[in-house]
Structure 1
Amino acid sequence: MTAASLHDDAIVIDGLIISNWSRDVFEDMRRGGLTAANCTCSVWEGFTDTMRNIARWKEWFRAHGDLICQVRTTDDIRRAKEDGRTGIILGFQNVSAFEDDLGYIELFKDVGVGIVQMAYNTQNFVGSGCYETRDSGLSDFGREVVAEMNRVGILCDLSHVGSRTSREVIEASEKPVAYSHCLPAGLKAHPRNKTDEELRFIAERGGFVGVTMFPPFLPKGPDSTVDDYVAAIDYVTNIVGEDAVGVGTDFTQGQPPEFYDWLVHDKGRARKLTDFGTIRNPDGIATIGDFPNLTAAMERAGWPERRIRGVMGENWLRLLGDVWG
């Protein structure tokens, strides 16, 4: 089977996309053969603004139903594949939309939210992000949030979460949790990258690692290629095993400079946390439509078909099934 035919046949799931949503992006998802993606609809927003964002998504599902559809179950994802559409998993990169009300968690589940990150870079009611000077760990309220997310079936994401808080979420959760989009600190020291020990700890407790290609976190930065991305996935796989790894690109396609400025300030408006520098996606996977090149690079690296299918989507599908039920 050629790389192109394997890609066409495979379940392809991206664990994190935060692009500037439009029909152009949705068309590129189809060009890339994307079966499903975790699409961010909340970062710093509270309850009301997040609900407005979800209402906008509902409009997009109606207006662009030939290209995308909302998915809530793994069966929905398989149907999206059969229908030739991209399934959209609504996801948060922060619990800010939950505010201080546990009842909001089930409300968001009811409107289709399937993945929620426990903190985005800094402290919130639940715990600490990876850019906090002092990681306070999982709060008592946070333990209730984890339990409620377990109960309703929302995946706990730890990508931007502090080390201590992440460890305590992993220990507290009765369901598997994930780093949906991260890179190994063993390849580049960075507050957003995870140490070998952290990667091993989540995997040993049934967790999952989605590997990102966000250039500031790769060793070669904006000079990276799709082959460098595959090498990073390889590095993580050698630590956690091939069944616990997936793709989480962190595509920011079409986003303007002010968007990045909003992201890198605490709560969107307070202190500046980091400077991304030049953001240029790895050569060979510059856009979502280039996704077939990732499958080809995996094949070029000598990966067997089973491993390619697993990392490109089947591992994500299994994890989501375990969490969503």
Structure 2
Amino acid sequence: MRPCRQGHPIAAARSLALTSLPSRPPACPAHSCPSPLWSTSTRCYGTCWRCTRWRPRPTGDLVRATSQLSATPPAGVPPDGNNRLGVVPTFQGLQMVEQDIGVIRGFRELGVGVMAITHNWKNWNGDGCLERTDLPLTGLGRLAVREMNAAGVLIDLSRAGVRTSLSAIDESGAPVVFTHSNARAVHDHPANLTAEQIDACARRGGVIALSAFPALVSGRPQPRLDDFLAHLDHLLDRVGPDHLGLGLDFDDRVRKRYAHDPLPDPPYTFPQGLSAPADLDNVREALEDRGLSASERERLLGGNLARVLSRAWEG
């Protein structure tokens, strides 16, 4: 089980200086992401889920070391001037839950605030986006969605299969989030979203957080900032600023599992002009150039994610 990080500029929770993390995420420009949220996720493949389920104390120690969040963060928390980061422990896939959905509530009590139904590949709940099949939620997956709603866990559908994500949106009683996804109409990649996924997420009040991960931005060896902004423009035209955020995926280190996975091996070459949190000024300037109001910019740069977190964590 390995901590990994995925940045979301957001003012969403009581913050924490990340002195307990193995390495500190790079600083953001204070005026572009005044109170960022940094999600920390664990990947469990093979049999390591047993370590998570049957040795809960180390897992709890990891969660507590990276999370000092209020149980219900107020939406749109203003920056407190302390230059701190909010941290939300996240599971990318429910492998550690397996068939025992009752442990979802236990992980939530430990502090895990966001869980993905699947992540790239199939599990007990549904299909991932890299599977050759495209099936909806299983019966167990529907129960897992209901349990996450009841436990106050935000449901993440990035890297879920198309039909799995659509059925999860229909099943969920709370808005969902795609934490790191772009538009398939701009760049055709299985981890990017179809028009149907985009519309369904927005219709139910959810948020799509755009990713700077190069394989999802364009087919260029090194994407450009304009390639990323093409996804932004497409999504602004389709669903507007109230359903968008940033999930730039700077520090996630994806590894291939199958030879046909359409993901490159590291090192990753992020877009020119958007390769680190310090480049968020470029995104803010692009939003200003597109005529978004100050309120719309703040919602896109964090307020929308604060809203769905608050709604989900209310349970």
Q: TM-score when scaled to structure 1?
A: 0.79
SS at match of 1:26: coil
Corresponding position: 1:55 with 2:61: yes
Output one character per residue of 1:228-262: Cα deviation in whole Å (capped at 9) or x when no partner: 32331221121122111111111126xxxxx53xx
Structure 1 unaligned regions, length at least 5: 1-9, 14-20, 62-68, 254-258
Q: CA deviation at 1:186?
A: 0.6
Output one character per residue of 1:210-233: Cα deviation in whole Å (capped at 9) or x when no partner: 111111111254432334323312
Corresponding position: 1:320 with 2:309: yes
Corresponding residue number in structure 1 for 2:24: 25
Q: CA deviation at 1:285?
A: 2.3
**Structure 1 pair 88/80, CA: closer, same or farther in 2 (3 Å)?**
farther
SS at match of 2:186: coil
**Structure 1 pair 80/304, CA: closer, same or farther in 2 (3 Å)?**
closer
| Mapping of residues 82-93 of structure 1, within 5 Å | 82-93=81-92
| RMSD, aligned α-carbons | 2.8
| Mapping of residues 272-287 of structure 1, within 5 Å | 273-276=261-264, 279-287=268-276
Q: In the aligned structure 1, how far is the partner of 2:76 from the partner of 2:41?
A: 17
Q: In the aligned structure 1, how far is the partner of 2:225 from the partner of 2:176?
A: 27
Corresponding residue number in structure 1 for 2:169: 170
Q: TM-score when scaled to structure 2?
A: 0.81
**Structure 1 pair 11/96, CA: closer, same or farther in 2 (3 Å)?**
closer
SS at match of 2:286: helix
Output one character per residue of 1:167-190: Cα deviation in whole Å (capped at 9) or x when no partner: 111111111112111110110111
Q: CA deviation at 1:37?
A: 2.4
Output one character per residue of 1:53-81: Cα deviation in whole Å (capped at 9) or x when no partner: 552353456xxxxxxx5454324983874
Q: CA deviation at 1:113?
A: 0.8
Corresponding residue number in structure 1 for 2:286: 297
Structure 2 unaligned regions, length at least 5: 1-8, 13-19
Corresponding position: 1:150 with 2:126: no
The alignment covers a number of residue pairs equal to 291
Output one character per residue of 1:134-161: Cα deviation in whole Å (capped at 9) or x when no partner: 1232111111111100001111111111
**Structure 1 pair 275/175, CA: closer, same or farther in 2 (3 Å)?**
closer
Q: CA deviation at 1:272?
A: 5.4
Q: CA deviation at 1:28?
A: 2.9
Q: CA deviation at 1:22?
A: 4.8
Q: Match of 1:264, as an amino acid?
A: K
**Structure 1 pair 38/77, CA: closer, same or farther in 2 (3 Å)?**
farther
**Structure 1 pair 82/101, CA: closer, same or farther in 2 (3 Å)?**
farther
